[in-house]
Amino acid sequence: MTEQKKHIVLISNSFGSLYNFRYELILTLLKDYRVTLLTPMEESDYVHFAAFMEQGCELLKTPLRRRGKNPFSEWKLISLYVQLLKKLNPDLVLTYTIKPNIYGGMACKKLKIPYFSNVTGLGTAFQKEGMLKKLTVFLFRRGVKHAELIFFQNEESQKVFKRCRIGKGNSKIVPGSGINLDKFPMKPYTEDNAFRFLYMARIMKEKGADEFFAAARRMKEKYKEVEFAVVGFCEETYETQIKELEKQGVITYYGWQDDSASFMAKAGCLVNPSYHEGMSNVCLEAAATGRPMIVSDIPGCRETVENGTNGYLIPAGDGEALLAKMIQFYQLSTKQKAQMGQNGRRKMEQEFDRQLVVEIYCKEIRRVLENDKN
């Protein structure tokens, strides 16, 4: 009689994040375990899910409003997780992002199911003292209290949890979700790349949009040949500004794009002046492609940059510092810029290869499910 495979469930706030950042992990798990995804689904997601389905992956669609604050809706989500997990009866659950970590963790605790929590970022709730932070800390304490392990993507997030007395101290740092070095191969750096700056992020204040746009305006006045490409979903408050910047010829806006690799290949430098990150995947992608970066000196960005070697670090929210570094980079020779890109690629190969992350997860999963002490 064939031994039944143990069952692992992954809970996320979007299928896209599982597909883009957990693809290799899921396929690896499917070799030895039964795997089910609990995630909201867009119509376009089902095309990508086919790659998992062919390997035997199962799916249960869940509703989720990422920024919803209606207590009734939140309670319904907890109840749904309990209902679905009770039906599935998995041997282990992996939760990703804030709401799945909190509410999925609560559901696992109620049903006595072992689970791993994955802190991919702390979000704005931890940035300021006040009722929102107190509530978030309270919920996180309940959500991850009984986790077998909490994965963090940077040391600062781990320290914040410790200061706030969240979790039992059973945690491990991984280099984000890592980067697929085959999907983002090293690309040639040419004269055509040299004067193109790329901003690839949600266009919002917390991602440094104000500082970037101000620097782009001032640089364009002085250096006519410089180009600024902007890729990402635009918050409503920035729509008028984006249109005006395009009309003035300061930027070219491409909207949201799935194929980030092609934009990286055409860029000369990634600019990421974000205020907070878990581990910036856009930085990993840029470095893997061989593109220098100018990024905020914050957890989740600074890990990807050796200042002056493969890019520059700037204080978050400092528009003058951002402008100065963009001008400094502009004035480098193409050869110097290309060398910085090569340094970044080497760093990704040595420290951020996604296969390293997959191996860490699989080792911890075996430890829990198969009592593997090695």
Q: Which residues contact 176 (CB under 8 A, 6 or more apart)?
A: 120, 153, 154, 278, 279, 280, 281, 284, 300, 352, 357
Q: 72, 128, 67, 129: which is closest to 98 by C-alpha?
A: 67
pLDDT for 71: 52
Q: Spell out the long-range contacts of 29-32 with Cβ–Cβ below 8 A and sequence spacing 24 or more.
A: 29/362, 29/365, 30/55, 30/56, 30/57, 32/5
Q: Does an H or E element contain 51, and which?
A: helix 45-53
| Among 51, 66, 109, residue whose Cα is nearest residue 85 | 109
**pTM to 2 decimals?**
0.82
| pLDDT tens-digit series, residues 108-140 | 999 999 999 998 877 666 767 778 778 888 888
SS3 275: coil
Q: What is the mean pLDDT of each run of 10 residues along the chain (374 residues)?
A: 83 91 95 95 91 94 64 75 95 93 94 93 71 85 92 87 85 89 94 94 93 96 94 92 94 90 94 89 95 94 94 96 97 96 96 93 93 53
Extract the tokens encoding 10. Answer: 């992954």
CB atoms within 10 A of CB 349: 14
Tokens of 164: 């706030």
Q: What pLDDT score does 2 carry?
A: 55
Q: Are 300 and 153 in contact (CB under 8 A)?
A: yes
Rounded to whole angstroms, the Cα distance separating 38 from 93 reads: 10
pLDDT of residue 320: 96
Strand partners, 115: 93
Per-residue confidence (pLDDT) for residue 374, from 0 to 100: 46
Q: Tell me how far apart the 2 most distant CA atoms of the chain are, in Å.
A: 75
Q: Which uninterrupted H or E stretch holds 39?
A: strand 34-39
Which two structure tokens, joined as six digits, stand for 256? Answer: 């949201």
Residues 199 and 271 sit within 8 Å (Cβ to Cβ):
yes
Structure confidence at residue 23 (pLDDT): 93
Q: Cα(first)–Cα(last) distance of the chain, in Å?
A: 28
Q: What is the rounded CA–CA span in Å between residue 286 and residue 292?
A: 7
Which helix H or strand E contains 354, and what residues bound it? Answer: helix 354-369
Nearest of 128, 126, 131 to residue 164 by alpha carbon? 126
What domains lie within the chain, and their CATH numbers? Answer: 7-178+353-369 (3.40.50.2000), 196-351 (3.40.50.2000)
pLDDT value at residue 124? 66
Burial of 94: CB neighbours in 10 Å, binned 0-12, 13-18, 19+: buried
Residue-wise pLDDT for 197-254, tens only, equals 999 999 999 999 999 999 999 999 999 999 999 999 998 899 999 999 999 999 999 9
